Structure formats: structure tokens, C-alpha cells
Amino acid sequence: GGDVYEVTIKSGTQKIKTQCKIDSSLNQKWKDTQKPLNLKITYHEQITVKVIDKRKYERNINVGEVTFSLMNLLSVRPLNIIVALGTCTSIRLNITLAWTPVVKGH
């Protein structure tokens, strides 16, 4: 058993979608964890994170959606942030932001 959640992270026209299964011991098993999931964005853009509870025999449930600006999150080192989805849910996402400078001509 366990619950399956679909997580979508979107910025502009770019979108990443992955799934996480949480078992009864609250262990998480993510799809696509062999490599980092990357978006190429600039500091003035926004990110939208949406989580859906995937149901096998019922309609899927929209757990929550949040949009935030990256302007205040610039950091030389990778930055861990927690995204709380909605006021009545206990689901929080840990996201690591790593900024890579753009080199002209590459």
C-alpha cells in the first residue's frame, strides 16, 4: 500500500513532473532519483510547485499549489527551502536550489 503523490515544478514553459510513494512507515520512494531534476531559469522568474494525491479508484486530490519568486533566494551555496502546501495539509517539500552562472558562448 501507500500513498502516491505527483509533484509538478514549473517555471515559464519548463516543467518537471515526478512521483513519490509514501509507505505506512512514512518512507519515501521517488521516481527519477538517479539524476537531479533541473530547470534552467533566471533569478527574476517564478516557480510554481503543485502536488496531487494520485488515487487508484477515486478522483485525484489537489493537495496544494504555491508560487514563489526566486529573487530573494540567490545564494552562492546550494540552498534548502521548505515549501508548505496550503494551510490544512502537513505535506512539505524540501527543495535544493543550486545556482550555476551562465558563461557566454557555452
Chain segment 43-83, per-residue pLDDT in tens:
778 888 888 989 888 899 888 888 888 777 767 676 666 66
Using the predicted structure, report yes or no on whether residue 18 has a pLDDT greater than 60.
yes
Cα–Cα distance for residue pair 39/42, rounded to 1 Å: 10
Residue range 27-55: mean pLDDT, rounded: 79
The model's pTM is 0.73
Of 98, 97, 92, 96, give the one whose Cα is nearest residue 20: 92
Using the predicted structure, report yes or no on whether residue 88 has a pLDDT greater than 80.
no
pLDDT of residue 59: 92
Using the predicted structure, report yes or no on whether residue 92 has a pLDDT greater than 70.
no
Q: Is the dihedral of CA 8, 12, 100, 78 positive or negative?
A: negative
